[in-house]
A and B are shown apart, each in its own frame.
Chain A
């Protein structure tokens, strides 16, 4: 590995961490799309900042752009408050308008500006190491590395200082204001941090891919845990590892680094989405299937309990009466028989004492809706676990 390669990976990892932290809170607060809005609408701020400073990494430009980001949030909220359109429409109206202004500003001044929209949207990490920070004539490393490290340390500092407040206001805004932490202050604090992070990172990974780095690791972690601290840790791990794997994939394919980082993030998310133990797609589908069978079983047992006449309890009658398919009836019958709840003699189904007891308990639960009736059955059945 050459020095620039190490530096690129270092920048990528720091950007990933800096994005993952606010990302977790955005996802939990159902404001993930605000990051998308901010990442687009900072463009006019960047352009104006660039006119003034001629340097994409100058603090003034970052400040101006971050202010544009916060203005976006304020505008969106102002439009929401009028009640004329829904929340998501407000977001969808504000950021394309601001973005358009940015694009037009660039186009009108194309001759004097070395800034093109592609670069803003997509970024180019490969060039990051060439823009060095010189202090008193000594080269101390790439500028964007320093900028992002500064942003990251501010973010971590704020996270540690206000962790409790953030946690409370994220999960229970009412309680938070009752306890005296203003949700509004925390909200705008979080928005400012996100805004600054997006601005700092856009140079490296581009506006759209900042969104991926913010949302994807957090969403992936959210599928695996419900603990805030674990979620933060996991999303940092996902972010950093995807960034580094993505870098090497880009190296291999000779393609855009940010694009391949996002692709790795996407693959990681897809795998977790499918296979996460409790909340993944396969687990959910399996659970739903089980629940369907168990509801059928219960319906079936209640049906048996209601009818003493033999004609109603004939195996073939089930299909007609409860309107089940053949396979479904068979599954339910097998399940009931395996659990010793029914006996079948000459195609006539009869409840066993155990089946009767189970049915009575279930019936009582349905009538009274009290949990203690079925406490001991919860281990065997998905259905009653809520």
Chain B
């Protein structure tokens, strides 16, 4: 199946439609909530929580004995939240830093989860196969019920975000000020964190434990490059996320042996890469161009200043001087003289140059900021 065929099938084929819709919604919600995570400098929280969710899945299975997705995800949610609050406890109560706390929760919970999973695999009831799909995710196992759940959570999350928009925003940018205004910062904080954990847990089934953090980060990091406004950033991140989901699914469906999760992550990484380079305000390309422009302008100005120093000794500022004397000055080239002539700063006649009135005023005010 090639990509064209995929797009013609998306609307008619049940499985493809469900998966595409699922990954798109997942991408959107991850982008939205990921924006908060990125701006709160909690980028790697996603990585830690997605790993921390694993023992929850295993325990939920051990207790209930069913493979009902919702129950397993509930277990994941609980253990993800425990992990999150333990991370916070470690950072606030001990001198361990956030990177250590994140790394600890990530690896310890995951290891414990692995212990439980291997333990379950050795148990006699053969019902357990497939639990390890949560490691790497299998978009193909998405059914309509899962997509509905995702849609409901996304809707809830949108409503809460709109209701608490002001609080979320102010907490994001100035936590102390928020506190002095009398907002319950603890509650708002927990609310945001809860939704981030929820989004991560939802994504486990599709992209898996390992790649979930990129789902959360990449769209937000890409969106950040295009705007300085929170609402625009969240909107853009949701769009980037949704497109990564759709394109990723399309590419992986059109090739053999390509799991969806990694492809989605790579598509999102391409979005980030493009944003890093081509965004007009912050992108590397335009930054470099601006840098070159500034350097050229500065060179011209330095030459002008040099000319000004020569010219100001004469009564007539437009008294012609030999071009030769400029050769001692480093910033001078034939090109720069031509540029200055274009700007009407100097006039060139044969082997002589003279400062114009415009050039004189510009040079005079060069360092006075007028």
Partners in one complex: yes
* Residues of A that sit less than 8 Å from B by CB: 27, 30-33, 35-36, 40, 79, 82, 84-86, 88-89, 91-93, 96-97, 99-101, 103-104, 107-108, 110, 117-118, 121-122, 208-209, 211-212, 214-216, 218-219, 222-223, 250, 253-256, 258-263, 265-266, 269, 273, 279-281, 284-285
A94: nearest chain-B partner, CB-CB: B269
A280: nearest chain-B partner, CB-CB: B94
13 residue pairs A–B, Cβ–Cβ below 8 Å? A32-B102, A36-B107, A86-B43, A97-B265, A117-B136, A118-B135, A211-B103, A212-B104, A212-B111, A256-B118, A259-B116, A259-B117, A262-B114
Give chain A's interface secondary structure class: helix
A208: nearest chain-B partner, CB-CB: B110
What total of chain B residues lie within 8 Å of the partner, measured CB to CB?
Answer: 60
Q: Given contacts A85-B224, A92-B44, A93-B272, is CB(A259)–CB(B118) below 8 Å?
A: yes
C-alpha gap A122/B51 in the complex (Å): 13
Partner of B257, one of A27, A107, A269: A107
A-B contact count (CB 8 A): 197
C-alpha gap A243/B351 in the complex (Å): 84
C-alpha gap A32/B44 in the complex (Å): 12
Partner of A35, one of B42, B103, B115: B103
Do the beta carbons of A260 and B115 come within 8 Å of each other? yes
Give chain B's interface secondary structure class: helix
C-alpha gap A67/B104 in the complex (Å): 25
Of B16-24, B213-221, B352-360, the one touching chain A: B213-221
Chain A nearest Cβ from B284, distance in angstroms: 6
By a CB distance below 8 angstroms, the chain B residues around A32 are 97, 99-100, 102-104
Do the beta carbons of A261 and B111 come within 8 Å of each other? yes
Q: Which of B182-222 contact A (CB under 8 A)?
A: 210-211, 213-214, 217-218, 221
C-alpha gap A91/B97 in the complex (Å): 16
Q: Name 20 extra pairs, CB < 8 A, besides A33-B103, A92-B214.
A: A30-B97, A36-B103, A84-B284, A88-B43, A93-B218, A96-B210, A100-B214, A103-B259, A104-B259, A110-B257, A208-B110, A209-B111, A211-B107, A212-B107, A215-B100, A215-B103, A256-B115, A259-B115, A281-B93, A281-B94
C-alpha gap A257/B45 in the complex (Å): 27
* Residues of B that sit less than 8 Å from A by CB: 38, 41-44, 46-47, 51, 89-90, 93-97, 99-100, 102-104, 106-119, 122, 132, 135-136, 210-211, 213-214, 217-218, 221, 224-225, 257-259, 261-263, 265-266, 269, 272, 276, 282, 284
By a CB distance below 8 angstroms, the chain A residues around B261 are 100, 103
C-alpha gap A122/B118 in the complex (Å): 11
B114: nearest chain-A partner, CB-CB: A259
Chain B nearest Cβ from A28, distance in angstroms: 9
Q: Given contacts A99-B210, A216-B104, is CB(A266)–CB(B112) below 8 Å?
A: yes
By a CB distance below 8 angstroms, the chain B residues around A259 are 111-118
B279: nearest chain-A partner, CB-CB: A84
Do the beta carbons of B114 and A256 come within 8 Å of each other? yes
By a CB distance below 8 angstroms, the chain A residues around B122 are 254-255
Do the beta carbons of A104 and B221 come within 8 Å of each other? no
Chain B nearest Cβ from A123, distance in angstroms: 10
C-alpha gap A92/B215 in the complex (Å): 10
Chain B nearest Cβ from A43, distance in angstroms: 10
Partner of A208, one of B51, B100, B119: B51
Do the beta carbons of A255 and B115 come within 8 Å of each other? yes
Chain A nearest Cβ from B273, distance in angstroms: 9
Q: Given contacts A216-B104, A219-B100, A255-B122, is CB(A92)–CB(B257) below 8 Å?
A: no
By a CB distance below 8 angstroms, the chain A residues around B225 are 84
Chain A nearest Cβ from B268, distance in angstroms: 8
By a CB distance below 8 angstroms, the chain B residues around A253 are 115, 119
Chain A nearest Cβ from B140, distance in angstroms: 13
C-alpha gap A100/B136 in the complex (Å): 10
Do the beta carbons of B211 and A99 come within 8 Å of each other? yes
